Chain A
Amino acid sequence: EAQVTQNPRYLITVTGKKLTVTCSQNMNHEYMSWYRQDPGLGLRQIYYSMNVEVTDKGDVPEGYKVSRKEKRNFPLILESPSPNQTSLYFCASSLRTGLRVGELFFGEGSRLTVL
């Protein structure tokens, strides 16, 4: 089954304790992206990757890191989480057709709480 898998789905952590949210897709998609969803703000892009070893900042990259060493994986790293990073996070992937990004396929989300 074609899917985007995120882990963990739920996490409560404390300020400053490094954490990683994993994302894996089995559709051989070139494009992958991380979003955070907050009430009243919709989805905001954190980082995206057009291909292996190519990553770019989105609208709200501060406090996050990503890496794209393999095509299928795109982990999101919070080196020193803070309470303002409490949010619902979504990973998404897409088949990049030519120069444009196609339909996005989303994971089920990871709800993160930073105390």
Chain B
Amino acid sequence: AQSVTQLDSQVPVFEEAPVELRCNYSSSVSVYLFWYVQYPNQGLQLLLKYLSGSTLVKGINGFEAEFNKSQTSFHLRKPSVHISDTAEYFCAVSGRQAGTALIFGKGTTLSVSS
């Protein structure tokens, strides 16, 4: 079984500052990893995903994440945030075998202020 821990429930930052949203997972099998973003009053949309290959994954809106197998982490980063990045961010993990559900973390609320 897989599980996901998002280490910070809320992250307040100022505009143009860098940000890191932390995600750790546990799994007994190889995994796929995802970050989703939910803007206020909207559904979730995919930011980026790690399936295989390079451990540094680039996504939309200038976000990137690094898969670290030894530390079982998949932290999300952005070098300079904008007000419009204010949203809730979800890390998710899926095992590679058939029938595995996608498990979500509890979310991190990123609040960007000027």
User: A residues near B, CB below 8 A?
Assistant: 4, 33, 35, 40-45, 48, 50, 56, 58, 90, 92, 99-101, 103-104, 106-109
Contact = CB atoms under 8 A, between A and B. Distances in A.
Contacts, number: 56
Given A43-B104, A100-B96, A101-B102, 10 more contacts: A35-B104, A40-B106, A50-B99, A58-B101, A92-B44, A99-B96, A104-B36, A106-B44, A108-B42, A108-B43
Contacts of B67: none
12 contacts: A4-B43, A42-B104, A42-B106, A43-B107, A90-B43, A99-B97, A100-B97, A100-B100, A101-B102, A103-B46, A108-B43, A109-B42
Contacts of A33: 101-102
Chain A contact residues: helix, strand, loop or mixed: strand
A90 B36 CA distance: 14
A15 to B, nearest CB: 27
A40 B10 CA distance: 11
A50 B102 CA distance: 12
B98 interface: yes
